[in-house]
Amino acid sequence: MQSNKNPFKGRQFTAEIILWAVRWYLQFPISYRDLECMLSDRGVQVDHTTLFRWIQAYAPEIEKRIRPHLRMTNGSWRLDETYIRVKGKWVYLYSAVDAAGQTIDFLLSPKRDAAAARRFFRKALGQSHTVNPRTVTVDKNAAYPIAVKAMKRARELWRFAKLRQLKFLNNIVEQDHRRIKRLVNPGLGFKSFATASRTIAGYEAMAMIRKGQVARAPASDMGAQRDFIAALFGTAA
């Protein structure tokens, strides 16, 4: 979807209805048919296939637009990966949070190896709300030491950054993975890698907002979160 002055141009429904549906789908474990029923109860008749198209269009757009508004994360990184089913096969969702549980970044990858780990590090380090880590806590996956050594040699990662392979310290990022699984389960998996990537971008974006990583949208204030997302798209909530 192109970012323009009116990202809802040509849509049959108002921006308020679309963003309401998108926010609810990305925050709660519901299916598209569940959401269709919820909207019908509010007097809005929207087919579940239309709701799918809304998610594909606006979920990654929300993720892109909130990035400049995120609070800075700290230098204690916790990394882990989990499995997501796409078209009947398993792919890997890399995630990182800091010691306070704030989301650093995420990456969906078809492979779980040193090259994928390095791509994830590069993506995370390229975000405006992250800092080069002083410690990186991971599990026993042998790919991480290989990736970290290569990035230190290339001066992409601070050479004094300490790698810790201690799984019990990664409970905080595993909580994020459990949240993702709860959201994914009602949909019974994804039909394509692109569909999964766009939807998960929305899941992660809403999680960052719900964690309070945006100053204008406190974690406990859903009204402020609603207004913030509307403002991202230049609309009134």
Residue range 132-145, pLDDT digits in tens: 999 999 988 899 99
3 pLDDT tier (thresholds 50, 70, 90): very low
Residue range 202-231, pLDDT digits in tens: 999 999 999 999 989 999 899 999 999 999
- Predicted pLDDT at 174: 86
- Predicted pLDDT at 172: 85
Most confident of 172-176, 195-199, 216-220: 195-199
CA 60 to CA 202: how far, in whole Å?
6
Q: Which residues lie below 8 Å from residue 188, measured CB to CB, with a gap of 6+?
A: none
Which among 68, 26, 69, 60 is positioned nearest to 218, based on CA atoms?
Answer: 69
pTM, two decimal places: 0.92
Stretch 178-203: mean pLDDT, rounded?
A: 92
Residue range 59-80, pLDDT digits in tens: 999 999 999 999 999 999 999 9
For the four alpha carbons of 57, 185, 123 and 120, in that order, the dihedral sign comes to negative
- Predicted pLDDT at 237: 61
- Predicted pLDDT at 2: 47
Which among 201, 185, 172, 182 is positioned nearest to 65, based on CA atoms?
Answer: 201
Residue range 77-108, pLDDT digits in tens: 999 999 999 998 999 999 999 999 999 999 99
Task: Tell me the sheet residues that pair with 106.
Answer: 95
CA 195 to CA 183: how far, in whole Å?
14
Please count the other Cβ atoms lying within 10 Å of the Cβ belonging to residue 158.
16
Stretch 174-197: mean pLDDT, rounded?
A: 90
> Which CA distances in Å does 2 have to 6, 49, 64?
10, 21, 12
CA 1 to CA 17: how far, in whole Å?
18
186 pLDDT tier (thresholds 50, 70, 90): confident
